[in-house]
């Protein structure tokens, strides 16, 4: 059942490309416009949506954070991302024009289920992004957009994260289409770029895994790791930190690169591993340069720096001790490749430490209690 892989996690990381490809399948009409046939909510209702609130936990919440950057940019409506277990306790502002998007791999996470029930009681529509057909969360939602990642067995979520981002992006592009906030050509261009992602993810799996494993060997004794990123790299950093703590039991913190000087830089001492998600070097704009200067700052304090960067980025090459390369792609799509070496890193570190990669201690695959 592991298909020859040493663990389910290994198998599932190698299914990252197909999770993306399959989640894109069947979402278009003959003209190439986005058609979310399975979502039985009228176009008219979608047109009236003026706010999105994503409710989710853990990895799924980081997929929501990534989607926030894209959807706000494309649709020009506010997107809030709330941990499902916090949501109900703060009297959230919900109207019939609010779309609540519940993201869940298992579809059985009680915290997320309770959040969506609360949203529906307040008169908001709930759309589930879910990987498990017929599970509780889609059953209790007004609509569902299934991710087609295939069953995820390993406790740590990997391929589902990529599929969640793709599904949320399809929702965003669909909203842009019905609300007319983007031209059809622009939408098609992004869809084309999304369709090109599985091959780029495959490239990372084929050509960066050795590099990741070497880094894991070198760093397996480290007591803690820091992860930092900016813009969509920020939730990717959070996700990389979560994977490493849950699988390899390494103390990690993920944070926004701009926060460094507001506190976390005090943690940096000689040899501290710091993983930095570097945005596209194309044009070497402020976003890229700011993150590079973050690498310089931690390096000046003795950090061992690991960058995830675009192939050929001269600054990453110059300032980072180790680089995991990604093929060039638009910034908003880069989380789909950048998370892959971080998934591998967590898995390799756990394996080197002799831990059970698929079943980390204290954790269950779906958390069906509040």
Contact 8, 196 (CB under 8 A): no
The residues of the shown chain that bind ligand F6R, judged by CB under 6 A, are 57-60, 104-106, 109, 112, 156-157, 242, 246, 366-367
Span between the terminal Cα atoms of the chain, in Å: 31
Residue 43 CB, nearest approach to ligand F6R (Å): 28
Residue 354 CB, nearest approach to ligand F6R (Å): 20
Indicate the residue among 97 and 359 with the shorter CB distance to ligand F6R: 359
Residue 316 CB, nearest approach to ligand F6R (Å): 27
What's the Cα-to-Cα distance from 86 to each of 62, 89, 92, 254, 346, rounded to whole Å? 15, 6, 10, 20, 27
What's the Cα-to-Cα distance from 61 to each of 56, 82, 168, 211, 266, rounded to whole Å? 5, 7, 12, 29, 27
Indicate the residue among 142 and 246 with the shorter CB distance to ligand F6R: 246
Residue 130 CB, nearest approach to ligand F6R (Å): 8
Instruction: Give the residue closest to ligand F6R by C-beta.
Output: 58
98, 199, 106: which is closest to 146 by C-alpha?
106
Residue 4 CB, nearest approach to ligand F6R (Å): 23
Q: Output the CA angle 240-162-4, nearest 5 degrees.
A: 85
Name residue 313's beta-bridge partners: none
What's the Cα-to-Cα distance from 176 to each of 97, 172, 199, rounded to whole Å? 16, 6, 26
What number of other Cβ atoms are within 10 A of residue 244's Cβ?
Answer: 30
Q: Which stretches of 76-222 are DSSP H helices?
A: 84-87, 110-121, 136-139, 159-179, 184-195, 197-207, 209-219
Indicate the residue among 309 and 357 with the shorter CB distance to ligand F6R: 357
Indicate the residue among 80 and 321 with the shorter CB distance to ligand F6R: 80
Mind telling me the catalytic residues? 365
Indicate the residue among 156 and 276 with the shorter CB distance to ligand F6R: 156
């Amino acid at each position: 059942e592991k298909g020859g892989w040493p663990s389910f996690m290994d198998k599932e990381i190698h299914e990252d490309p197909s999770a993306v490809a399959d989640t894109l399948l069947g979402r278009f009409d003959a003209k190439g416009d986005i058609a979310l046939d399975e979502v039985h909510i009228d176009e008219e209702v979608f047109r009236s949506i003026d706010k999105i609130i994503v409710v989710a936990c853990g990895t799924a919440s980081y997929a929501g954070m990534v989607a926030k950057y894209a959807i706000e940019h494309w649709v020009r409506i506010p997107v809030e991302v709330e941990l499902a277990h916090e949501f109900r306790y703060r009297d959230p502002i919900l109207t019939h024009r609010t779309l609540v998007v519940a993201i869940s791999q298992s579809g059985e996470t009680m915290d997320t289920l309770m959040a969506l029930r609360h949203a529906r009681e307040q008169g908001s529509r709930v759309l589930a992004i879910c990987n498990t057909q017929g599970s509780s969360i889609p059953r209790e939602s007004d609509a569902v957009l299934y991710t087609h990642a295939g069953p995820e067995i390993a406790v740590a979520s990997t391929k589902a994260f990529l599929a969640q981002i793709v599904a949320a992006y399809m929702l965003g592009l669909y909203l842009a289409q019905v609300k007319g906030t983007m031209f059809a050509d622009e939408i098609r261009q992004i869809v084309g770029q999304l369709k090109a992602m599985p091959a780029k993810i495959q490239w990372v799996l084929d050509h960066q895994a050795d590099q990741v494993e070497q880094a894991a060997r070198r760093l397996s004794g480290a007591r803690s790791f820091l992860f930092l990123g900016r813009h969509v790299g920020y939730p990717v950093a959070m996700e990389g930190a979560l994977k490493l703590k849950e699988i390899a039991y390494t103390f990690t913190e993920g944070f926004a690169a701009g926060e460094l000087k507001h506190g976390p830089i005090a943690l940096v001492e000689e040899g501290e591993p710091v993983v930095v998600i570097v945005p596209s070097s194309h044009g070497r704009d402020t976003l890229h340069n700011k993150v590079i200067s973050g690498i310089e700052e931690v390096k000046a304090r003795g950090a061992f720096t690991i960058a995830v960067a675009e192939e050929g980025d001269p600054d990453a090459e110059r300032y980072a001790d180790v680089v995991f390369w990604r093929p060039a792609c638009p910034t908003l799509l880069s989380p789909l490749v950048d998370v892959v070496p971080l998934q591998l890193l967590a898995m390799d570190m756990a394996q080197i430490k002799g831990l059970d990669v698929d079943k980390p201690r204290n954790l269950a695959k779906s958390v069906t209690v509040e």
